Amino acid sequence: MRTDQSRAMAMYNGSGTMVTQPLSEKSELEAQAGEKEMASEESERIKASVKEWFSREGTKVESISNPRAEFLFKVKFMRFFFSVVRPNEQQHIQVESQVMISPQHLKVLTAEKMREFQMQVLKFSFENGINLGFIQPRPGQPKGQGPPGPGFVVSDRIYDDGFSEDRLWQTMRRLHSAVDMAIAILNEITGQKGGKVPDTTQEGPSYYT
């Protein structure tokens, strides 16, 4: 456990020798409060910048309440849906797209073809520095609580010290291209294109259209 003597502030005396003085509990609490206030201001600045950028791009921004996030936006960027979230007490935003494989593809996607799809799309993600994972149906999931069937998710982070509108644009474009490539691989393996499925209004994974 730290003592008051270890919580010290460096100072110089009249002779030029460095000495230390203990920081009071009040000073330490004030410093912590100041850091939290600065972090909150930075979070609000990034939140406003993200929302404004998507609006200028002509994208509708849907704000979703989530107790685990300082803010969570759902947007349709170009062809696909994305979530932009800032987790509580974190210094980054997470951008991701969760996509369910369409029923048209699932009809002809055998276990062997599914493994082939997963291997090819994983290879693409490794070669291009894309975070990619797979979604499996939850056992016993009630109907109407999310699209059925397997899918995939692509994601990336932007940390506060590297945030800019250009970085946001580059991240969105890379992830959108990754979803496009995954669907192209599905089309090649199954020999057909996925059909159009009605958009879902639920939070969470959605079909590509």
Mean pLDDT, residues 148-164 taken together? 90
Q: Which distant-in-sequence residues (6+ apart) come within 8 Å of 207 by Cβ?
A: 99, 100, 102, 147, 194, 197, 200
Residue 5: inside a domain, yes or no?
no
Q: What's the structural domain count of the chain?
A: 1
Q: What is the residue range of 145's domain?
A: 23-207
Residue 80: inside a domain, yes or no?
yes
CATH number of the domain that residue 163 is part of: 3.30.1460.10
Residue 117: inside a domain, yes or no?
yes
Looking at residue 4, its pLDDT comes to 47
How far is residue 74's CA from residue 65's CA, in Å, rounded to a whole number?
11
Q: Which of 23-37, 79-93, 120-134 has the lowest mean pLDDT?
A: 23-37
Residue 16: inside a domain, yes or no?
no
Write phi, then psi, for 26 (nearest 5 degrees): -65, -45
Q: Say which residue, 25 or 102, is predicted with more confidence.
A: 102
Q: Which has the closest alpha carbon to 64: 207, 203, 157, 158?
A: 203
Looking at residue 31, its pLDDT comes to 54
Tens-place pLDDT, residues 59-109: 999 999 999 999 999 999 999 999 999 999 999 999 999 999 988 898 899
- Distance, CA of 121 to chain centre: 19
Looking at residue 40, its pLDDT comes to 80
Residue 13: inside a domain, yes or no?
no
What is the dihedral sign for C-alpha 140, 132, 172, 180? Answer: negative
Q: Which pTM value belongs to this model?
A: 0.73
Residue 9: inside a domain, yes or no?
no
Residue 40: inside a domain, yes or no?
yes
Looking at residue 14, its pLDDT comes to 56
Residue 74: inside a domain, yes or no?
yes
Looking at residue 172, its pLDDT comes to 96
Q: Which of 23-27, 50-54, 150-154, 162-166 has the lowest mean pLDDT?
A: 23-27
Tens-place pLDDT, residues 181-205: 999 999 999 987 655 544 444 445 5
Q: Say which residue, 2 or 58, is predicted with more confidence.
A: 58
